[in-house]
Amino acid sequence: MFKKTLAGMFGLLLSLASCQSPDNAQTEQPAAQEITAAADTTKREPRPKPDYYNFRGVERKRVYICMDATEDTFHQKHDCPELITCKGQFRNLILARAIEDFDRYNCETCSANLAYIFDETYVP
The chain-wide mean pLDDT, for the chain, equals 81
Over residues 103-122, the pLDDT tens digits come to: 999 999 999 999 999 998 88
List the chain domain ranges. Answer: 62-118
User: What secondary structure does DSSP assign to 45-109, as a single string?
Assistant: PPPPPPS----TTTTT-EEEEE--TT--EEES-TT-HHHHT--S-EEEEEHHHHHHTT--EE-TT
Residue among 56, 86, 43 nearest 68 (CA):
86
Read off the pLDDT of residues 37-72 as tens digits, 9 standing for 90 and up: 444 555 667 788 888 889 888 989 999 999 988 899
Q: Does an H or E element contain 124, and which?
A: none
pLDDT on residue 20: 65
Model-level pTM? 0.62
Fill in the amino acid letter for 58: V
Task: Say which DSSP state 113 is in.
Answer: G
Mean pLDDT over 30-36 rounds to: 53
Quote the Cα angle for 38-48-37, to 5°: 10
Residues 6+ apart with CB under 8 A from 3: none
Rounded to whole angstroms, the Cα distance separating 12 from 15 reads 5
